[in-house]
Structure 1
Amino acid sequence: MSVPLYQLPEQQPSVWQPTSVEEAMQLKQQWGDNSVLISGGTWLRTRWENGLSPTPQHLISLGSIPALSGLTIDTVGHVHIGPACCLSDLMENELIRQRCGLLVQACSEIAAPSVRNLASIGGNVVTRTGDLIPVLLVMDAQVGWSDGQKERMLPLEEWLESKHFTSYEMMTKIVVRASEQDMGKSHAFYLKVGRREAFTPSVVTVAGSLRMDADGTIVAIALSAGGGSAIPARFTELEDAVTGKLLSKEVLQTLHKGVSEGFEAVADDYAGVDYRKITAANLIVSECYKAWRKGGGAYAPRS
């Protein structure tokens, strides 16, 4: 919903275009809570238009900082993604397509093409509820933050759980390990359930990867869920509980119970908590069953 003209502020925000992280943080410290760091601005704009957040006096654009739009791979195979990269750039980049196929799939299921041409991966993460977060959690993402002087790296999972994050830091990079599915070693999945097939807010979003031995023993597993207003999270205790076990009907039941009980879903006008919990559990267990059928054929349960 657009804001009527008579509700628009008399003075539009000033737009600043720093060319370095240091300069951006100097501006942020100068203008404080009257300013906001902005890349694509698609999420922020909806909040301003719907009256959920006041329009700031100063917009600090990150589009002129080259370091925030880079895509590289290091010597150990980790992919470094600039947070200002828009979703369509990630989808079209050959490095990302080869090394992070699951992330490309997730990007393709977010919003409309016109939004993906503006929306940034960093902006999706900073919302703390973005639909890319479950995939990034499964990929063991690390996130870089800088106050303009020092940079620190945090596991994405730790940052999501932190209640003491300061707005006087900015995201500088997202580092992920390459998807094992893309290297032919495991089954990986990303599924989004919405009110309609496309261009819709998520009700439930799940992601995961599963690697097994030839006999169906779980060697490694990573599972996550989010959607709507829920902060996505990994099911680390559940993962530890089933790793090393032979995938069986009992293990699938353990996974279903663990996800449905452990997913901290949030109700809204689209769906209730119980629906989201059961849907997340059904999606994840279904994919784990498919993985066993794919890798362990003769041993897969049929009921």
Structure 2
Amino acid sequence: MENINLVQTLKREIGKKIVGQTDMVDKILIGLFTGNHILLEGLPGLAKSLTVNTMAETLGLDFSRIQFTPDLLPSDVIGTEIYNEKTGEFHIKRGPIFGNIILADEINRAPAKVQSALLEAMQEKQVTIANETHILDTPFIVLATQNPIEQDGTYPLPEAQQDRFLMKVKVEYPTREEEKRILALLTEETIFEDIQIDKILNSKKIDEIKKEVREIHIDERLKDYILDIVFKTREENEYIECGASPRASIALVLASKANAFIMGREYVMPEDIKRVVYDVLRHRLILSYDAHAEDREVEDIIEDILEGVILP
């Protein structure tokens, strides 16, 4: 746990530009320290993109931002083969996917063929251009954002692609006190763009932290608790059409370990599982017609499941 102090320093550095949103920051760190992708969903103006940008500044890693739009092409994401008239040869022009931290901004604004261009990269950590396979650098994580209120001109992510995200994090409004601090930061104090962000981590340190996270202890009873939750989603339920896959069990173990690490512990507690369970399951449950007809939210279904499982 020698790197836990670095994590606290990292969070303080991010706090120079990001007021509040500690839950979002922690969940992105969980993705970074487990090598997994995070989907951020929230209303405009809640600092989703700014948080990712600021975090990238604190890391000694390559950062790419892709603005998803309806006219985006798969080649705009992964790259393409270019013909050079002078040499008469083809060469590969790499796209923005060749980075360490990828911000897929407003991912639901691009059509399915563009969204699917991310599938191979997210799952296999490689891309194929002109029949050539290119291995992506590590670490590699996709941090995608989407706006839940606009439906016109958007393309909802297929369930298969959502399952490739470790967590779907709902970004909430700041508190009144936090918003007052935001006003001071953006309207009264130093020029926001001039705030200096120091680099705290690098790829070597991140690899060390990922190893430490893997070594966090989780009791067998807590593993059984996680399995009880996931298997409960697969039981006959009038509100669930399709339950969570084994990826959910894996994600709950990894995310709870990473949360324990961020909290400065070498072991997982039930509180770690409870903190991540909604984010891990909310995009992995397909609700039935009855659930939609009765205006039942997925969070309500998860709450019912947790109440029906005995906590060790």
The TM-score, its normalising length taken from structure 2, stands at: 0.27
Ranked by relative contact order (alpha carbons within 8 Å, sequence separation 6 or more), the top structure is 2
The TM-score, its normalising length taken from structure 1, stands at: 0.27
Q: As a proportion of its length, which structure holds more strand?
A: 1
